[in-house]
Amino acid sequence: MSAMIYQAYQNTVDFTAPWRSGAAAANAALRGLPSGLPDKVFGRLAAALELISRSSLTYDRPDYGIKPVAVGNREVPITEEVTFATPFASLLHFKKEGVEGQPKVLLVAPMSGHFATLLRGTVQTLLQDLDVYITDWHNPRDIPVSAGKFGLDEYTEHVITFMDKLGPKSHMIAICQPSVSALAASAIMSEDNHPARPASLTLMAGPIDTRISPTKVNEFAKSKPLKWFEDNLINYVPMQCKGAFRKVYPGFIQVTAFVSMNLERHIKQHKELLEHLANGDAEKADAIKTFYDEYFAVMDLPADFYIETIRDVFQEHLLPQGKLTYKGRPVNCGSIKKMGLMTVEGERDDICSIGQTLAAQDLCTGVRAYRKVHHMQAGVGHYGVFSGRRWNNEIYPLLRDFIYVNA
């Protein structure tokens, strides 16, 4: 892949921006016409114009939009508060005014092409009983090259730093990809007898050992040499951006790969959206638009982080073999002792299959058996582990009780 394809893509997006703006303006004008005109014709035209106006990705983080939660007999509003920040991430606190004593939890979000807002439903549920913080990762295309590199070590370092900011007796939950860094951070902090080491660690659908029942995602990561990923997927941030010339795995390539995995489904969804818009079915149209507003809000991945994750996690399996290092130090999961460990997997997960997260239980030989919990949720795929009805009604109650037992 040409090292300038991201620049060409951005130039195309900028060039076609007036078309999308024009389509949006024309749609607004059509929607404002008096009733009684040929609604079917104008409805379909307005629907087509709206789809044109939406036909691009966004690199801006969506709002979390967290709703007030019930605490006792009152509704408590949520205030977002950045308690600490680096060029690469903010430690974002979902503050509940006047609510004290709930266990502090760091929710470690994946850096996988979408913003941490993908976990808004997870956050909304956790806030019922927990004091929630999240790793709100910044888009690398907005981070100047002068801020330095960001690789797997830097990711783990952020987790350690953020846990330090939360303080002693705090808990950590890692969703998917960051399970490796969360476990590594817990091991390093335990070995150092760090006062803010996690009181409990929950790993959800994470690739601890991808040698177990490899998925198509795992097989693709091993199907090509590392140099292929470097030559074909790494690009430079366009010169129009604050992070110009930073090397990244572009978000638009990642989301294209996601879409291609379920292309028929996405085409069907947009056909249905067109029909709902044309027929004036706002509720059904809004549901689809809300999903794609999040799905097409993409962020780039720092090149070092992407390549090191492919190499260390998916190709060489360093953590389960006891060969992973953090800043040159061996990561010894056996050093984890005074901590609860919970692993959660989904029966139908086609990204991180059954057994890959459970592997953490065998690695943590120093954790007493009575402090280990594993849950395999029947009937859910990858996203169902941390979102949706079964997450809310079946997984979350177990997780909440596990945290409170280890508080």
Q: What percent of the chain has pLDDT over 70?
A: 93
pLDDT for position 179: 98
| Domain residue limits, the chain | 69-218+302-405
pLDDT for position 263: 77
Residue 129 has pLDDT above 70, yes or no: yes
Taking residues 40-46, report their average pLDDT.
Answer: 68
Over residues 75-95, the pLDDT tens digits come to: 999 999 999 999 999 999 999
Q: What percent of the chain has pLDDT over 90?
A: 70
pLDDT for position 41: 63
User: What would be the CATH architecture of the domain defined by 69-218+302-405?
Assistant: 3-Layer(aba) Sandwich (3.40)
Over residues 210-238, the pLDDT tens digits come to: 999 999 889 999 999 999 999 999 999 99
Over residues 272-302, the pLDDT tens digits come to: 777 877 777 878 878 877 777 777 788 999 9
pTM over 0.85: yes
Give 22 or 397, the one with higher predicted confidence: 397
Residues contacting 228, CB < 8 A, separation 6+: none
Sign of the dihedral defined by the CA atoms of residues 303, 304, 307, 310, in that order: negative
Q: Which among 4-18, 255-269, 287-301, 339-353 has the top mean pLDDT? A: 339-353
Best CA proximity match to 245, nearest among 147, 100, 178, 112 = 147
- Cα separations in angstroms, 35 against 2, 23, 40, 343: 52, 21, 11, 57
DSSP string, 9-26: HHHHHHHHHHHHHHHHHH
Q: Are 312 and 207 in contact (CB under 8 A)?
A: no
Over residues 324-359, the pLDDT tens digits come to: 999 999 999 999 999 999 999 999 999 999 999 999
What is the overall mean pLDDT for the chain? 90
Taking residues 3-10, report their average pLDDT.
Answer: 78
Over residues 146-195, the pLDDT tens digits come to: 999 999 999 999 999 999 999 999 999 999 999 999 999 999 999 999 99
Alpha helices (H) in 81-174, listed in sequence order? 120-126, 152-166
pLDDT for position 33: 63
Burial class of residue 113, CB neighbours in 10 A (0-12, 13-18, 19+): buried
Give 51 or 337, the one with higher predicted confidence: 337
- Cα separations in angstroms, 73 against 97, 140, 294, 392: 15, 42, 33, 20
| Amino acid code (one letter) for 145 | V
pLDDT for position 25: 78
Best CA proximity match to 308, nearest among 216, 229, 397, 202 = 229
Give 14 or 252, the one with higher predicted confidence: 252
Over residues 95-122, the pLDDT tens digits come to: 998 899 999 999 999 998 889 999 999 9
